Structure 1
Amino acid sequence: ACVCADTRTKWDILWSCLVTNFACSWVSVHPNIPDALLWNKAFRHLKLLFWSIISPELVIFWAAKQWLGAREPAKEYSEYGWTKTHGYFIQMGGFFFYDGERTVGVLGPVQLRTRLRKNEILMPTITEKEINDRSKGDGLSKAIVLVQMAWFLAQCIARKVEGLDIIELELVTLAFAALNSIMYAFWWNNPLNVQITVPVYLLPPPLPLTETFKTTVERPVSGEVQPGSAEAQNESTEVLAGISGERPEPDEVQPEPAEAHANHPRDIVDKIRFRTKWRMFVITKFASGIASSTIDEGASAVGTFYADNSGSGHFWMVFPVVGVVFGSIHCAGWHFPFISPVEGKVWRACSVAITGIP
């Protein structure tokens, strides 16, 4: 058997492409916090992994929408030390609202703004460092993915420089790696796979003026609490205890084909029509999920594709830009040596369709 440096087996190529695709997609996608059910946690991540492979453009659109939504809380609550990380954290359902021991539901950006205005809660005091401590992603995991993508890109460039062939699967993997890089950039400050939320408690209603006066008059002088005393510190600690900290795990709440080689020119039209219909179905199905920017009252978790809609900007431009990038990489295989002329025509037609119909 030949062991030349320019000889690779099918398994070598397949394994290299699969590992690159899986590693990039798994780490690049940043899911929202699911509810307490273990099955839902795994299903949500697998669902996002599926969509990142089937329709990466739409996942990038969702990431761009969250990126824009994260900037608003960072500016609005900058006096409290909030950053973009806080903006991502509240969008993923990182704050949970309690009325005493009773769970009320997720505290989203709109709910936080409303309850702060009504003086029903105190501003959560969790820091960016504490949020990142809950994240499963760190510098090492990011570096591993970036090195994997850089290694695959270097391989493709080296083979091209040496005059060796690059097959279609490698070109597709390269296109996915490029889109995952864009996705990763939008979610760079987004905590990864956070599982535990931060509790925010409803403040007790203020006493009526007569009750306050009566309590003040009846309090004996000897019982006065001097500022800075141990008793005063204990009272302050009790009040502040409800502002931050990890909430215990709540009770379980029920949440909410390989293509054959073409053997006739007319198959080109059929393949393009099928791919176009498939992509339109995917866009319609997925867009119905990411179009919603509301959180149901009493929800135990935000939606899988939830993103705050308060951000401004022409984020709809993400669609054509990403589509052109994705399709252009496919067009790089325009002059690849295909098995048959018809297969080459199908590849070129589909590449143009991807570029023109993002």
Structure 2
Amino acid sequence: MLILLLAYHIAQSVQSEAGPIPALLEQRDVVPRDDQNNQRPIWSIIWSCLSTIFLCTWVAVHPNVHFKPEKHNQRWFEKWLWDPLHEFFTYKLLLFVWALLVPEYILAWAVRQYIQAGVISRQVPGWTRTHGFFMVMGGFHLFRLPTGASFIPLPHESSKPSEFVVASGRHLRQDEVPVCPLKFEDFSIDVLEIIVPTETELKDRGKSDALTKLIVLVQTLWFIVQCIARGTQHLPLTELEVVTLAYAMLNLFIYGFWWDKPRNVECPIRLYKASTTTHKESGEEAEEWETNQAERWWQKVITYTLGAQDAHVTLSSEHSTPMFWSGRIPIKLLGDAGLGPTILGAVFGAIHCIAWSSEFPSRSELVLWRVSCISMIAVPFITTIFLAFMAISWRTEEHSTDWMMVIGLICAVLLILSAWLYVAGRLATLVIAFSTLRAPPPAVFVNVDWTAFIPHIY
């Protein structure tokens, strides 16, 4: 809403201060075309950019299952106002801010889930990557049956009885008590073959289908094509269009990795055990954070950069799947999973350099834009070197050689010291992208001559 108000204010100021577009073209010694329809208004530019950015930062994100237990006897104020607003500000808005300020982190999350979904799908006969995604995103939740409810155990091929049961008596589902999300290691293969729906049923739980995703991709690709066409005809782009072009590029990769992941699933599949009082998740125990505050802060920065934070999560103590949960990926794959997104993160910053020599309303905006571009390239590049070093060290036996320790320490220090520059650069480019709309170059308003791309016979 604030962005829309800012855009409206800028549009009004451009129209009131600059005057008609043809007059503005004459002032800058640019000859306007005879066809007045070949001019694009400022609102067309703003709307095209904002809609594309919205698709890339809100629609493109496929969140994990954010389970919210049902509340009984709710007042209308809580049900229709407080709970939706609380959900929006504490979860959905946070994801939007992450996608807006650090889009390559969203891409890294998508890559980790893609890898983990593939690892899981190969272990169960008949499973697809959609099944793997559904497991990774928290699609299964453990519930406790009401006291006295009857049940029967699920059939099990081994001699050991299955811990999971099926309710056989009559009781209200609202009396079932949610316990915690479940992960792949908590199940046996034969149990999964019984309880998991088909791929079509899983996709039906999502809030978008292939057609919706295709429309988003077409919109994103169309924006990219328009920017390329303007470049071939030597027509300038506004800084807002340059920023949007960077988002559109990353959005193609995010959508590609999440194509098979159900979107906005809110209700997981309920599973029951004969006794949940002694439930303990399978697999390795979660690692502990450092007790010293300074060391813990250092450790968290490095861990979240690598995408290894899931190793510190005890899922059985969580009420819902963590926001960026992607399962405990094997340590040797973490470095590989992060290399691509960090390289694309540097490309994301490099795209902003398209406006390196553009006409800025002031010298300070030009300098700030260039400094921001450098920071948005340098920080992902440092992260790439750090991840490459970690990938090499994890794949070799030389984990503790002096030169490796020195390189890792230097990269870690540079990353921690420069991370704030990246966030500052992202904020600066977003602000400048709107502020420069108050006095754009006249040629910005000239539309692409699409007939020039049609072969002519002379």
Taking structure 1 as the reference length, what is the TM-score of the superposition?
0.69
Secondary structure of 1:8's aligned partner: coil
- For 1:300-319, list aligned pairs within 5 A: 300-311=319-330, 313=333, 314-319=336-341
Deviations 1:120-154 (A, max 9, x none): 98752311111001011112211221121122122
Alignment length (residue pairs)? 276
Partners in 2 of 1:122 and 1:342 — Cα distance?
A: 62
Q: CA RMSD in A?
A: 3.0
How far 1:286 sits from its partner (Å)?
A: 10
Q: Determine the structure 2 residue equivalent to 1:42.
A: 88
How far 1:70 sits from its partner (Å)?
A: 0.8
- For 1:332-343, list aligned pairs within 5 A: 332-343=354-365
Q: Determine the structure 2 residue equivalent to 1:98.
A: 143
How far 1:298 sits from its partner (Å)?
A: 4.6
- For 1:192-341, list aligned pairs within 5 A: 192-202=263-273, 284=301, 287=304, 291-293=308-310, 294-311=313-330, 313=333, 314-341=336-363
Q: Determine the structure 2 residue equivalent to 1:20.
A: 52
Query: Which ranges in structure 2 are unaligned for 5 or more consecutive residues?
Result: 1-19, 23-34, 70-82, 147-175, 276-297, 381-458
Partners in 2 of 1:285 and 1:7 — Cα distance?
A: 50
Asked whether the 8 Å contact 2:140–2:183 carries over to 1, the reply is yes
Asked whether the 8 Å contact 2:68–2:320 carries over to 1, the reply is no
2:112 equivalent among 65, 69, 72? 65
Query: Which ranges in structure 1 are unaligned for 5 or more consecutive residues?
Result: 205-280
How far 1:320 sits from its partner (Å)?
A: 2.9
Asked whether the 8 Å contact 2:112–2:329 carries over to 1, the reply is no
Taking structure 2 as the reference length, what is the TM-score of the superposition?
0.55
How far 1:156 sits from its partner (Å)?
A: 1.6
Secondary structure of 1:354's aligned partner: helix
Partners in 1 of 2:345 and 2:57 — Cα distance?
A: 18
Question: Quick one: higher RCO (CA 8 Å, sep 6+), 1 or 2?
Answer: 1
Name the aligned partner's letter for residue 260 of structure 2.
N
- For 1:36-185, list aligned pairs within 5 A: 36=68, 38-39=83-84, 41-43=87-89, 44-77=91-124, 79=125, 81-101=126-146, 102=176, 103-112=178-187, 116=188, 123-185=194-256
Partners in 1 of 2:210 and 2:193 — Cα distance?
A: 33
Asked whether the 8 Å contact 2:112–2:337 carries over to 1, the reply is yes
Secondary structure of 1:318's aligned partner: helix
Deviations 1:188-212 (A, max 9, x none): 11100112211223269xxxxxxxx
Deviations 1:153-173 (A, max 9, x none): 222222223332211110000
Q: Determine the structure 2 residue equivalent to 1:345.
A: 367
Asked whether the 8 Å contact 2:67–2:268 carries over to 1, the reply is no
Q: Determine the structure 1 residue equivalent to 2:40.
A: 8
Q: Determine the structure 1 residue equivalent to 2:65.
A: 33
Partners in 2 of 1:177 and 1:201 — Cα distance?
A: 43
Q: Determine the structure 1 residue equivalent to 2:152.
A: none
1:290–1:45 Cα change, 3 Å: farther
Percent identity between the aligned chains?
35
1:157–1:167 Cα change, 3 Å: same
How far 1:82 sits from its partner (Å)?
A: 1.6
Asked whether the 8 Å contact 1:70–1:84 carries over to 2, the reply is yes
